[in-house]
């Protein structure tokens, strides 16, 4: 059965000089309003033990526009400013629910420059998008068509560190049903092999960052030689950003292809709950773990399973998938990372990654039936999952 979902379609566009200036002003105002509201909320809580709601922040924004210091806020569309307050409210909600850390201030150099427009702040006519405060439509590079008959409900304009402009259109889309599949697969994430499947297949890790490591290193050396504040330094900085953007784009494309294939071929996908943040504390493996992008792969599996009617099962992070013998159920006390194959006392010979994937698949039905919080009796927080 077809599913109707909210889906974002992202495209590049080339703004005119006037449009680029207007969007840059909007980005700056959005950042200022968000930082001011965060400052007010922080001062109210730590100084007066008082919470500030989104409605109160919106009223404060109206007052800021009437001051001589911040009167320039009236020069840009009010919708992106209001949306930034909504996003700040969501960030505080995630913080109080212990799903995220305390919201941070937005930096001019490090934060993503973006602005969100709702239906009242843009005009969509005959496939052309015109934003508020602009006379001409955006010159969008339509790399793929929008769903037939769909009208964007939200538009997000952004500019990355490499100077590329993007527009993301949120539309209602109908996802065609995937071919009927009854297979289930267990996935073990790794570094040498990005994923190992319970079928015995190993998907090699492309190692995009490592393969192109010489290019960003050379660009970074050129950047370090430029005088701070000069135009040549800005050119060199953008060159570094373009190199890293190319690596990120290739990595993202590979993960999209892999996740789509896994979800279309299997009704149930079982993975481990890997805490990447903790694993990055390992100084020797942090760079390789970041290049593998396990968190991005999990996110793609989550929403694609929801789209195509599949089931994603996440087992406990302390489950000893690699140390558990799939034949007799014996758990080894120690299994160093350099041991890629081992023999159990029962005589079974295991490939470390394949055995882990099979054990993950075997643990999937119990977790699916009892909930993600179930912990097998042989697992232990004091022991390593590897």
Q: What is the pLDDT of residue 375?
A: 53
Single out the residue of 221, 302, 213, 220 nearest to residue 255, CA to CA. Answer: 302
Instruction: Report which of residues 386 and 327 the model is more confident about.
Output: 327
pLDDT of 381 strictly over 50: no
Q: What would the pLDDT profile of 229-241 be if each residue is shown by its tens digit?
A: 999 999 999 999 9
Q: What is the pLDDT of residue 333?
A: 85
Q: What would the pLDDT profile of 316-369 be if each residue is shown by its tens digit?
A: 888 888 888 988 888 888 888 888 898 888 888 999 999 999 999 999 888 777
Catalytic-residue membership of 272:
yes
Q: What number is the average pLDDT over the span 56-73? A: 95
3-state secondary structure 228-296: CCCHHHHHHHHHHHHHHHHHHHHHHHHHHHHHHHHHHHCCEEEEECCCHHHHCCCCCCHHHHHHHCHHH
- The share of the chain scoring above pLDDT 70, in percent, equals 95
Among candidate residues 272, 273, 316, 382, the one labeled active-site is 272
Q: What is the pLDDT of residue 318?
A: 86
Q: What would the pLDDT profile of 158-199 be if each residue is shown by its tens digit?
A: 999 999 999 999 999 988 877 767 789 999 999 989 999 999
* pLDDT band for position 386 (cuts 50, 70, 90): very low
- Whole-number average pLDDT of the chain: 90
Q: What is the pLDDT of residue 304?
A: 92
Among candidate residues 188, 212, 222, 291, the one labeled active-site is 188
Single out the residue of 359, 305, 14 nearest to residue 197, CA to CA. Answer: 359
Beta-carbon contacts of residue 109 (< 8 Å; ≥ 6 apart): none
Instruction: Report which of residues 313 and 182 the model is more confident about.
Output: 313
What gap in Å lies between CA 262 and CA 276, rounded to an integer?
21
Single out the residue of 9, 3, 11 nearest to residue 170, CA to CA. Answer: 9
Kindly list the distances between the CA atom of residue 75 and the CA atoms of 20, 137, 158, in Å, as whole numbers in the listed order: 15, 19, 19
In this structure, are residues 206 and 254 in contact, taking their beta carbons and an 8 Å threshold? yes
Judged by phi (left if over 0) then psi (alpha if -120 to 50, else beta), residue 293 lies in left
pLDDT of 123 strictly over 80: yes
Q: What is the pLDDT of residue 371?
A: 62
Q: What is the pLDDT of residue 177?
A: 74
Q: What is the pLDDT of residue 227?
A: 95
What is the crossing angle of helices 294-308 and 231-265, to 10°?
Answer: 50
What gap in Å lies between CA 355 and CA 93, rounded to an integer?
41
Q: Which of 249-253, 283-287, 326-330 has the highest mean pLDDT?
A: 249-253
Hey, which residues does 140 pair with through a beta bridge? 13
Among candidate residues 22, 173, 209, 353, the one labeled active-site is 353
pLDDT of 383 strictly over 50: no
Q: What is the pLDDT of residue 372?
A: 54
* pLDDT band for position 1 (cuts 50, 70, 90): low
């Amino acid at each position: 059965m077809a599913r109707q979902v909210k889906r974002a379609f992202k495209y590049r566009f080339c703004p005119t000089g006037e449009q680029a200036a207007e969007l840059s002003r909007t980005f700056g105002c959005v950042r200022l309003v968000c930082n001011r509201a965060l400052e007010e909320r922080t001062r109210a809580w730590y100084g007066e033990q008082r919470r500030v709601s989104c409605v109160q922040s919106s009223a404060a924004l109206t007052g800021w526009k009437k001051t001589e210091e911040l009167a320039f806020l009236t020069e840009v569309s009010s919708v992106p400013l209001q949306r930034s307050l909504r996003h700040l409210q969501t960030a505080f909600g995630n913080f109080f629910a212990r799903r995220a850390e305390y919201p941070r201030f937005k930096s001019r150099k490090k934060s993503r420059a973006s602005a969100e427009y709702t239906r009242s702040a843009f005009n969509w006519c005959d496939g052309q998008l015109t934003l508020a405060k602009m006379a001409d439509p955006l010159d969008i590079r339509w790399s793929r068509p929008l769903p037939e008959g769909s009208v964007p409900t939200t538009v997000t304009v952004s500019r990355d560190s490499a100077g590329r402009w993007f527009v993301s259109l949120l539309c209602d889309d109908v996802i065609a049903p995937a071919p009927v599949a009854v297979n289930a697969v267990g996935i073990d994430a790794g570094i040498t092999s990005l994923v190992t499947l319970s079928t015995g297949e190993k998907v090699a890790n492309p190692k995009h960052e490592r393969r192109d490591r010489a290019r960003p290193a050379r660009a970074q050396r050129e950047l370090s030689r430029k005088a701070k504040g000069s135009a040549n330094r800005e050119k060199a900085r953008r060159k570094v950003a373009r190199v890293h953007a190319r690596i990120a784009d290739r990595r993202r494309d590979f993960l999209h292809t892999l996740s789509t294939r896994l979800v279309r071929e299997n009704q149930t996908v079982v993975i481990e709950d890997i805490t990447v943040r903790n694993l990055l504390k390992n100084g020797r493996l942090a760079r390789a773990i970041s290049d593998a992008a396990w968190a991005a792969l999990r996110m793609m599996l989550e929403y694609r399973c929801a789209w195509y009617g599949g089931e994603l099962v996440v087992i406990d992070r302390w489950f000893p998938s690699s140390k558990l013998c799939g034949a007799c159920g014996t758990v080894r006390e120690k299994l160093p990372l350099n041991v890629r194959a081992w023999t159990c006392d029962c005589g079974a010979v295991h490939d470390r990654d394949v055995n882990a994937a099979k054990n993950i698949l075997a643990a999937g039905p119990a977790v699916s039936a009892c909930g993600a919080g179930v912990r097998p009796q042989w697992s232990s927080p004091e022991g390593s999952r590897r």
